[in-house]
Amino acid sequence: MNCPFCKHGDTRVLDSRVADDGTCIRRRRVCSECEKRFTTVEQMQLTVLKRSGATEPFSRDKAVAGVRKALKGRGVSEDALAKLGQDVEDALRAAGSAEIASHEVGLAVLEPLKQLDEVAYLRFASVYKAFASASDFADEIAGLMAARADAELQQATPEIAAPETTAAQAEPTN
Ligand SMILES: [Zn+2]
């Protein structure tokens, strides 16, 4: 690949290593012309299999397009939306498949969106899960409330910390 500094076409790899999570390879390179160093990251290409049978490269923008609509008027920042896109991509990459069905992308959106904004989550889920009636909303809300009650219960009963050893303090100091 071309040097990002001088655009020279010949660069050498100094070092390659797999990232800690195993999802990409980082290569340290040096330009043979200007001798500046830079790092490239090689990632598996995620491909989305559409319902039509066509495939396209995974796009974070496309993955969050439906979320953006669902968040309309909710006052959620672009940064938070970008973070959600990152989380979705991370979750899909962590699953380890190179090709993912488009509905799996929607599935990967649901959980982080639930954490981000419950109203947007309900809007998104109503489209994604093709809600047919008010009772579908009621069921989904019941699920949300149950999950929230569980989370609050867990926060209310923190694990009791192990007592610190007092042996050293019990020793006479003189
Ligand atoms: Zn160069």
**Tokens standing for residue 22:** 């195993």
Instruction: Tell me the CA–centroid distance for residue 12 and ligand 1, in Å.
Output: 11
In this predicted structure, what is the pLDDT of residue 166?
54
Regarding pTM above 0.85, the answer is no
In this predicted structure, what is the pLDDT of residue 172?
57
Please say if the pLDDT value at position 111 is more than 70. yes
Q: What's the pLDDT tens digit per position in 56-99?
A: 999 999 999 999 999 999 999 999 999 999 999 999 988 888 99
Q: What's the pLDDT tens digit per position in 120-138?
A: 999 999 999 999 999 999 9
Instruction: Tell me the CA–centroid distance for residue 94 and ligand 1, in Å.
Output: 34
Q: Residue 29: what residue type?
A: R
Which own/partner pairs from 41-47 qualify as long-range (CB within 8 Å, at least 24 positions apart)?
Answer: 43/93, 44/93, 44/98, 45/98, 46/89, 46/92, 46/93, 46/98, 46/99, 46/100, 47/98, 47/99, 47/100
